[in-house]
Structure 1
């Protein structure tokens, strides 16, 4: 529930220790980034496209030129497109603490405006990002003076090495589903085959749901509740239909170099071995926007500038981490609003 009067002096007094811990955590991460050769950059928030994933919802605005004509623009849902353009320009190791905006998202773990830490490594495998994540969990706990990360009744040891499990193995272990049997080498999916396995596993779904809808349902209901308890979990090798901007794995065309980091059952980060093929990326964007048009009726434009820059992007890995969520876990806060200096007012 939104605390609409966080500015009351007595409320601010209660909130201030966690906010100061937030500053210490950010300072510790910035020092780590500097020590590891990262250049901090500051991407613009206004963008041609807010992003082209099906279920991401942007904030639309209009940029009025000197001619008085307004042109559609968006607040970005991630600084990803701008940062990859910087990789195309020649940057090798960059990071950014960026405010980002996502519509239709508000709750204990979601806020319409939040802070994302995003960083990229040129010439390094995406497994290097996993090691970075482990370091940041430790740094956050140390800066907050905490022995554990906590969200509600869930706890996680930030000093223990994360467990690593593939999405396919997690589906087998926690749902009894052979996920890869429903994906072909060319990326085509067997929606009905996945539906049959879900019925056998007693997981309900609606008749009109797509393969991706079914995948998300199993993930949220049967997999995520088991992740990040005791120690962090790296959920690795997402299926290609859910690869987003990640490249395919070299040893299996059905899966991608994508992972997500979980702690205390909370998703913290999403990392990729970056896709740099503009033809494949355009195909994925178009498919996602067709699906978005079917579900929501408002597809977003493609960032043609980004697609033009993509062939110049060298082999790289990149990741986005929800900074507010990390602070929330390190301070045992009940929600991300509790660790934001000035939460967005709720107009409801």
Structure 2
């Protein structure tokens, strides 16, 4: 029986429709936990409450007040990622850790976004980020194996999760799909040139957005020209982001214009975002402050910098890590077209 979509998620008929995807979710979760255990990952449980939810311009957190025994409250946030805590654990001496837990992001709700969702995040100390890329592709294949799906499909775009993945740099993708020489708009120290990118966009026949800052021009090209071409037919690893668009990633040795950041796409869906992790506390502070200045300019707010996290970076070993949207992976592995279809209990609207 097909449940009426306007009925609540807990209505027996609607739950009966949703249950196969939820059972698949449980099976994939068990398989992922087994995969992690087989590779000696320690699954950790970072707290959701943090003094800083992260310091990226366009990430928005849920704030609350933590009241002490003296009745005095202090502002706290539900984390947008367990990243800061997990890097502190790397600094403490852990070398292979993972987390599969809920995170929260405000101002986000769509077919692929939910204010509370599940993130699979893992780190390896002492390995290049290519190892983390290989991990990510293995977990995507694992989800397909669990459900037996032959291909992922979302909004008419299909992808074979078992095929050899495509790996392309951001600069190569901009050249291929937009006719733009991205690196020519960034100087040797990684400082982007707003006007240079605007000129190239006009030459490529693109309409410029109202905001002419380089970051917004970059995002405009990425969303309009590049992302629609990614993850079609096979998984795409989009690699080596401009350093200015990789706040938590270390720069590529020998080229300060780009950083060791990658994103993974399947059927047009962004699944994962990973880094060769930045461990220079001074550079990280500069990046955080720049991000918060931009957040203040656009949204009229800023989040505090986690000084404890910056201190831990001075002790943290070289490492690589990635965050994967677990619910999105379940969607692709089950054929669901909205994220609520694979959540046990969606947040009420």
TM-score by length of 1: 0.98
Following superposition, the deviation at residue 206 of structure 1 comes to 2.9
User: 2:197 aligns to what?
Assistant: 194
- Alignment: residue pair count: 345
Q: What is the CA-CA distance between 1:289 and the residue it aligns to?
A: 0.1
CA distance in 2, matches of 1:115, 1:210: 32
Structure 2: gaps (5+ residues): none
User: In 2, Cα distance between the equivalents of 1:109 and 1:202?
Assistant: 30
Could you say if the C-alpha distance between residues 64 and 20 of structure 1 is closer, same or farther in structure 2, counting changes exceeding 3 Å? same
The one-character-per-residue Cα deviations of 1:13-36 (angstroms, maximum 9, x if unpaired) are 000000000011111111000001
Q: Of residues 130, 136, 150 in structure 2, which corresponds to 1:147?
A: 150
- 1:40 aligned residue (40, 43, 54): 43
Determine the C-alpha separation between the residues in 2 that align with 1:153 and 1:184: 39
Matched residue, 1:324: 327
Q: Partners of 2:208 and 2:59 in 1: how far apart?
A: 22
Q: Does 1:258 align with 2:264?
A: no
Tell me which of 230, 233, 236 is aligned to 2:233.
230
1:205 deviates by 2.4
Aligned partners of 2:89 and 2:153: how far apart in 1?
36
CA RMSD, Structure 1 to Structure 2 (Å): 1.0
Partner of 1:85: 88
Deviations, residues 75-130 of structure 1 (Å, cap 9, x unaligned): 00000000000000000000000200000000001000000000000000000111
Provide the residue aligned with 1:67 in structure 2.
Answer: 70
Q: SS at 2:91's partner residue?
A: helix
Q: Taking structure 1 as reference, are residues 4 and 182 closer, same or farther at Cα in structure 2, changes over 3 Å only?
A: farther
Partners of 1:145 and 1:11 in 2: how far apart?
Answer: 24
Instruction: Please list, as runs of the form range in 1=range in 2, the aligned pairs for 1:154-233 lying within 5 A after superposition.
Output: 154-233=157-236
Extract unaligned runs of 5+ from structure 1.
none
Query: What's 1:130 paired with?
Result: 133
2:336 to 333, 337, 341: 333
CA distance in 1 between counterparts of 2:341 and 2:254 reads 43
**TM superposition score normalised by structure 2:** 0.97
Q: Is the 8 A contact 1:134 1:161 kept in 2?
A: no
2:33 equivalent to 1:25: no
Distance 1:189 1:170 in 2: 18
1:9 aligns with 2:29: no
Deviations 1:215-266 (A, max 9, x none): 0010000000000011000000000110110000003110000000000001
